[in-house]
């Protein structure tokens, strides 16, 4: 199929490509206008102009549905690369002038974002004030490209091979409960006994609900647990555990201080779950100056953080 970009008379603007790519992400002209801070009429005009310049139809449109044409899909793939190259050029020039700038979109989970990632990004912002950091905390994983996320800071070792992942710190999850719960219900002697306990279940970003994947002496086990309390917020689950409501599976970074004070105790301590901390980003952003700077900062920050966790 002949490329729509091969016509030497084509003269399209970067702004029109940006509008087009935003419409593709939302498949809704009104939503794209809202995200770009403009009107639907303006979006429609820019798309019509781009279609005229490229001499092709980009969208199938009806009163209720918007979808890409075959040529629209081609324009999106090539146009996105053009936009990424333009952004990369601006970033590289900014770095060479020692003035990195632009928007950096970061996502992470609720509790970890509030207690750790937020402070790390605040430090980064002080070092590079011309980079505007936008942090989203979420209870689920996103398609980074589809949602225009540059960098995801996540806990857990299951990562799509389509992404680049840099480990920032070691971490693992442990089974724990309050002494009062253990005294009343007894500590489980094995995994079969664990299934009979009241477990505080968290809807993790990267795990099926109620399925705990544990490791013992190099062997992996899947345990389907049940419980009367389920939440998508780890801080709530820890609060429930502290009040004696059941057994929870939480990262050592989160419950380490409670284990040290005795407010929580481990059960089945030989079983753990690897849950290291990673910086994850799309391959297409591998040469992004903003990503390189932020990941380097994160590595240095988490190296200090990990040492503090070990010392405490």
> Quick one: pLDDT at residue 1?
45
Pair type for strands 211-216 and 219-224: antiparallel
Q: Which of 259, 254, 294, 243 is nearest to 122 (CA)?
A: 294
Q: What is the band of 11 on the pLDDT scale with cuts at 50, 70, 90?
A: low
Helix (H) or strand (E) holding 93: helix 70-96
> Quick one: pLDDT at residue 64?
77
Taking residue 273's Cβ as centre, other Cβ atoms within 10 Å add up to 20
pLDDT tens digits for range 250-263 = 999 999 999 999 99
Taking residue 192's Cβ as centre, other Cβ atoms within 10 Å add up to 9
Output the pTM of the full model.
0.68
Residue 100 reports pLDDT greater than 80: no
Strand blocks (E) in the chain: 59-61, 66-68, 102-108, 131-137, 151-155, 163-169, 172-177, 199-202, 211-216, 219-224, 229-231, 247-251, 265-266, 272-274, 277-282
Pair type for strands 277-282 and 163-169: antiparallel
Helix (H) or strand (E) holding 122: helix 118-127
Q: Which of 170, 173, 146 is nearest to 160 (CA)?
A: 146
> Quick one: pLDDT at residue 209?
80
Average pLDDT over residues 120-149: 88
For Cα atoms 129, 122, 303, give the angle at the middle one, nearest 5 degrees.
115
Q: Which of 9, 17, 14, 6 is nearest to 72 (CA)?
A: 17
73 by DSSP, 3-state: which?
A: helix
pLDDT tens digits for range 148-199 = 899 999 998 888 888 999 999 999 999 999 999 999 999 999 999 999 999 9
DSSP class of 285: G
Instruction: Give the whole-angstrom CA distance, residue 170 versus residue 309.
Output: 10
Q: Which of 151, 100, 143, 137 is nearest to 299 (CA)?
A: 151
**For 22-31, 204-213, 224-233, 282-291, which range has the lowest pLDDT when averaged over its residues?**
204-213
């Amino acid at each position: 199929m002949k490329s729509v970009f091969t016509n030497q008379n084509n003269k399209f603007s970067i702004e029109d490509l940006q509008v087009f790519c935003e419409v593709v992400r939302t498949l809704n002209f009104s939503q794209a206008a809202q995200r770009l801070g403009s009107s639907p009429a303006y979006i429609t005009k820019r798309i019509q102009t781009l279609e005229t310049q490229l001499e092709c139809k980009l969208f199938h449109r009806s009163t209720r549905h918007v979808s890409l044409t075959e040529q629209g899909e081609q324009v999106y793939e090539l146009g996105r690369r053009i936009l990424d190259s333009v952004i990369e050029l601006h970033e590289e020039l900014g770095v060479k002038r020692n003035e990195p700038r632009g928007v950096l979109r970061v996502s992470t989970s609720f509790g970890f974002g509030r207690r750790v990632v937020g402070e790390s990004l605040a430090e980064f912002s002080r070092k590079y004030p011309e980079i505007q950091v936008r942090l989203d905390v979420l209870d689920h994983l996103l398609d980074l490209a589809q949602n225009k996320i540059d960098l995801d800071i996540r806990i857990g070792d299951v990562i799509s091979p389509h992404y680049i992942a840099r480990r920032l710190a070691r971490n693992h999850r442990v089974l724990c409960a309050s002494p009062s719960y253990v005294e009343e219900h007894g500590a489980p002697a094995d995994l079969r006994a664990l299934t009979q306990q009241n477990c505080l279940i968290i809807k993790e970003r990267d795990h099926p609900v109620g399925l705990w994947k544990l490791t013992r002496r190099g062997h992996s086990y899947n345990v389907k647990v049940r419980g009367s309390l389920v939440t998508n917020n780890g801080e709530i689950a820890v609060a429930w555990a502290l009040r004696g409501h059941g057994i929870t599976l939480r990262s050592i970074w989160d419950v380490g201080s409670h284990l040290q004070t005795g407010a929580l105790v481990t059960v089945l301590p030989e079983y753990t779950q690897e849950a290291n901390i990673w910086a994850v980003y799309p391959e297409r952003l591998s040469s992004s100056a903003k990503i390189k700077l932020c990941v380097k900062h994160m590595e240095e920050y988490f190296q200090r953080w990990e040492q503090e966790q070990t010392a405490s």
